[in-house]
Chains A and B, each alone.
Chain A
Amino acid sequence: MKFRVCSSAIVLAVLALLATGGFAASENAPGVSIADLMNPDDVMLRKPAQASAEDATELARKAAAEKAAAEAAAKAAADARRRAEEQARKEAEQRERLRKEAEAKAAAEAAAKAAAEAKRREEERARKEAEEKAAAEAAAKAAEEARQRAEEEARQAAKTKKLAPPAGPQPDILETTDAKQKSDTGAKRKDKKRQPGRDAVITAERTDYDRKEGVILFDRNVYVDDEQYQLHADRLFLFLDGTNDLKRLVALGNVAITNEEKNASCARAVYVKQSSKIVMYGEDGNPAQLYQGGKKGSTVKGERITFWLNSEQVEIEKPVVTVPGGSFRSGDGKDLFKNMKK
Chain B
Amino acid sequence: MALAGLSFNSEQWLSERADDSDMMRLRVAYRDCVAKVESPAENVVFPLESFPDGSVKSRLSAARAQMFSDSDYIWGEDIRVEQYREAGSTNVWASLNAENCIVDRKTKSGWVEGSATMVYGDSSVKGRGIYFSLPREYIKILSKCEIRTKGAKFDPRSLVK
B128-151 to A contact mask, C-beta < 8 Å, 1/0: 000000001111111111111111
User: Chain B residues with Cβ under 8 A from A216's Cβ?
Assistant: 159-160
Give the size of the chain A interface in residues (CB under 8 angstroms): 47
The total number of A-B Cβ pairs within 8 Å is 120
User: Chain B residues with Cβ under 8 A from A281's Cβ?
Assistant: 4
Does A203 lie within 8 Å of B146, measured CB to CB? yes
User: Chain B residues with Cβ under 8 A from A239's Cβ?
Assistant: 6, 8
User: Chain B residues with Cβ under 8 A from A206's Cβ?
Assistant: 140-143, 145
Residue of A nearest to B36 (CB): A125
Residue of B nearest to A227 (CB): B152
> When chains A and B are docked, how far (Å) is the Cα of A227 from the Cα of B149?
11
Interface residues of A in 182-221 (CB under 8 A from B): 196-197, 199-213, 215-218
User: Chain A residues with Cβ under 8 A from B149's Cβ?
Assistant: 199-201
Task: Determine chain B's interface SS by DSSP, over half rule.
Answer: mixed
User: Chain B residues with Cβ under 8 A from A200's Cβ?
Assistant: 148-149, 151, 153-155
> When chains A and B are docked, how far (Å) is the Cα of A140 from the Cα of B35?
24
Interface residues of B in 21-55 (CB under 8 A from A): 24, 27-28, 31-32, 35
> When chains A and B are docked, how far (Å) is the Cα of A204 from the Cα of B147?
9
User: Chain A residues with Cβ under 8 A from B136's Cβ?
Assistant: 210, 212
User: Chain A residues with Cβ under 8 A from B4's Cβ?
Assistant: 281
Interface segment, one of A55-63, A79-87, A91-99, A245-253: A245-253
Q: What's the least CB distance linking A257 to chain B, in Å?
A: 12
User: Chain B residues with Cβ under 8 A from A211's Cβ?
Assistant: 137-139
Q: What's the least CB distance linking A338 to chain B, in Å?
A: 24
Contact A202/B147 with A137-B24, A228-B153 known, Cβ cut-off 8 Å: yes
User: Chain B residues with Cβ under 8 A from A240's Cβ?
Assistant: 160
Interface residue A336 (Cβ < 8 Å from any Cβ of B):
no
User: Chain A residues with Cβ under 8 A from B140's Cβ?
Assistant: 206-209
Does B127 lie within 8 Å of A270, measured CB to CB? no
Interface residues of B in 1-28 (CB under 8 A from A): 1, 3-6, 8, 10, 13, 17-18, 20, 24, 27-28
Contact A136/B28 with A202-B146, A206-B143, A215-B13 known, Cβ cut-off 8 Å: yes
Given contacts A200-B155, A205-B144, A270-B3, 10 further A-B contacts (CB under 8 A): A136-B24, A199-B150, A205-B145, A207-B145, A211-B138, A217-B17, A239-B8, A240-B160, A244-B157, A246-B155
